[in-house]
A and B are shown apart, each in its own frame.
Chain A
Amino acid sequence: MSGSEDLNLVTAINQTLRQELTRDPQVRVMGYDIGPIGGVFRATDGLYDDFGDQQVIDTPLTENGLIGAAVGMAMRGERPVVEMQFLGFMYNAWGQFVYHLANLHQKTGGLVKVPVTIRATFGGGIKPLPFHSESTEAYLMHTPGIRVVCPSTPYEAKGLLAASIRCDDPVIFLEHTKLYRAFREPVPDDDYTLPLDKCRLVQSGQELTLITWGNMVHVSQEAVNELGADVEIIDLRSLAPLDVEPLLESVKKTGRCLIVHEARRTAGPGAELSALISEYAMEWLKAPIKRVTAFDVFFPDNQVEDIYLPGTERVKSGIEALLNYQF
């Protein structure tokens, strides 16, 4: 008989890493500050002591080197799990990210597999320093050859991270810093995985389909609850590839679609979602598609952060605008 434990998201990540390091000796957790200190968010807390420096590898400070070396190890049979301390530090690694992480499998005609998972913290709301709050999923989604996964709860985090690590494709696994310690929920002790290519129905509704992911799942739920509106909320979970059919089905049912993301608007993830829905569900729409997003600017200084990020009020505005719309 196994039970479950109430865990927050960062502890769920820690336990999953522990589970995978135990299950598969080829799993190598890599990154800087992941050893004795256990990561700046303590996601790798205790792993160095328990698994040693051959499986938990503290590396020099070079993101490009880190991703390139992880791919090199992966193509020779290892299964690296890289910690990218902040997604905003990954710009230095764009070369290895595109040339090798994303492209090597295709370039070798499928001969070389790249089972690398890159855990990157992302998202705003904790008022840190510049480039510590990026929501630049769109850069990632625009790159073929990689999976982009984003859990929104501790339970989801465990199942999706285990699946990402076991997946033979490269996966960018986005962990929202605001969610790390936001809340706890029961997480089974047992090993389980969740599908990497399926979105999740958060709650069903009849009047509007709200598509979101990450911390915005919670902001959106709050907005919907405050309005008492009959809204269907879908958590994408996987940003690449997109699980399109359930989105279209939902929009065909509700006739309205609101996309909520923390990323900037122009050419953001919402642009692709909006395009897909207008291409394939136009005839069912009772209102135009709307996007609730951050603004098209660099992540602003701390004092403006809360107004920059979409909050419950902005999401409520989006829902109301669509529900009140008349053709």
Chain B
Amino acid sequence: MGKTKWTEVRPNEDYFRILNPDGTLNGKLPRVSRKELLRWYQVFVETRTFEDIAVRLQRRGVLSVAAVSRGEEAVGLGAAAAMKAGDWCFPSYRQNSTLLYWNAPIDRAMAGLMGNSPEHIREQLPIDADQLPQVTFMPYAVFLGANIPLAVGSAMADRLAGRDSISVAFIGEGSTSEGDFHDGLSFAGVFDAPVVIIIQNNQWCISMPASKQTAAETFAQKAEAHGIPHQRIDGNDVFAVYQTVKQAADRARKGNGATVIEAVSYRMLDHNTADASEVYRTEDEAEYWKTLDPFERFEKYLLAEKIIDGNTREAMAAEAETWLREAIDRGRAVPPTPATAMFESHLIGEPGWSERHQRAELAAELAGRNPLVDFTGEGL
């Protein structure tokens, strides 16, 4: 076993940080309007509200599983604020703040979490094209690390077409152990792909601590061998995330290629609702990380600057609860996906013999008839 170079309990804080955990400034703030700062605050509140509701719904059996991003919201949020309309995003499953910032339709998200098919959701919850998020979100990567080559290819297409849009991908620190991560970085480096790859290092890959994923001092370093600029930042500082991703995005838009950013954060809760983290990590650790909470820190700053007051959180939370509830209820009201939806979107064009035949079998089965009585191939 290699010696542990750092620990997940107290990672080296030698990283880029603008906003200190006590809400004071450690450096120069990026230029962000007061209105935008309020929007960030609102998204923080919305993310926590949404995730609380999701966990409650899972406990009541409405959702089979729910993953939340408590304590990591600043990563997805700061990055979202640095994206522009026309960009493409390749999330993992811990970027609810990115989705909320870009007004992703929560009713549709909820219908998806409840196990409806995408075609059925689109049909049941129609949206005008101009109401869709202006950043395009790909389905989140269940298969870890596989989104990286995809994002790089997407970025290569932007470069080939001469567009100034970029691709932004999120990956956990554990997933950087996958070959896919390095496969993607090889391409990103060689082709100067306009992509920003954000390693959301939350210290835990289910039960595996970050120290067991690599013997390198940092995850950002992994980009070094690929010739890609990289930076390690305080992922719980929304200003640091915003500014770093913004600079990387600007570089990418100008044709100067890829950047890898390691945003150091912490998974405050379980991996998902099927996990039990008390089995493998201690309470002390969480206590320490609570002092670095990204939301509390940002709130302290906004209060000190009088951008919000003592009542803002409660008012925004109530507002978020109301509209999120409505959206979630719309998602929950979607009638169950019909079984025939399983055949959708496999091949384009007229179905072949086997698909036609199997569709007929399913129809017979659903109608209570024997689906297996065709012995001639001529149909049921």
**C-alpha gap A58/B373 in the complex (Å):** 51
Chain B, interface size category, equals 35 or more
A131 touches B142 (CB 8 A): yes
Measured CB to CB, the nearest residue on chain A to B175 is A61
**C-alpha gap A40/B65 in the complex (Å):** 14
Which of A8-16, A164-172, A232-240, A318-326 interfaces with chain B?
A: A318-326
- B106-150 CB mask vs A (1 if < 8 Å, else 0) is 000000001111000000000000000000000000111110000
A295 interface residue (CB < 8 Å to B): yes
B115 touches which of A92, A287, A302 (Cβ 8 Å): A302
A302 touches B114 (CB 8 A): yes
**C-alpha gap A287/B372 in the complex (Å):** 13
A296 interface residue (CB < 8 Å to B): yes
A308 touches B372 (CB 8 A): no
A1 interface residue (CB < 8 Å to B): no
A303 touches which of B114, B207, B362, B375 (Cβ 8 Å): B114
B205 touches A64 (CB 8 A): no
Smallest beta-carbon distance A145→chain B, Å: 22
B280 touches A61 (CB 8 A): no
Q: From residue 86 to 101 of chain B, which have CB atoms closer than 8 A to chain A? A: none
A290 touches B212 (CB 8 A): no
**C-alpha gap A57/B180 in the complex (Å):** 23
B144 touches A61 (CB 8 A): yes
B358 touches A265 (CB 8 A): yes
Q: From residue 151 to 171 of chain B, which have CB atoms closer than 8 A to chain A? A: none
B142 touches A92 (CB 8 A): no
Q: From residue 239 to 296 of chain B, which have CB atoms closer than 8 A to chain A? A: 274-276, 279-280
Which of B20-28, B45-53, B334-342 interfaces with chain A?
A: B334-342
Measured CB to CB, the nearest residue on chain B to A295 is B358
Measured CB to CB, the nearest residue on chain A to B1 is A53
**14 interchain pairs (CB within 8 A)?**
A37-B276, A40-B206, A61-B177, A62-B179, A127-B115, A290-B372, A295-B343, A296-B354, A297-B342, A301-B116, A303-B117, A307-B342, A308-B339, A317-B371
Residues of B within 8 A of A (CB): 1, 64-65, 114-117, 142-146, 174-175, 177-180, 205-208, 212-214, 274-276, 279-280, 336-339, 341-343, 346, 354-355, 358, 362, 365-366, 370-373, 375
Q: A-B pairs with the 7 shortest C-beta distances?
A: A302-B115, A37-B207, A60-B177, A300-B342, A307-B339, A36-B280, A321-B372
Residues of A within 8 A of B (CB): 32-33, 35-38, 40, 53, 58-65, 88-89, 91-92, 127-132, 265-266, 287-288, 290, 292, 295-298, 300-305, 307-308, 313-314, 317-318, 320-321, 324-325
Apart from A32-B208, A33-B207, A61-B144: 4 A-B pairs, beta carbons within 8 A? A32-B174, A60-B174, A92-B146, A307-B342
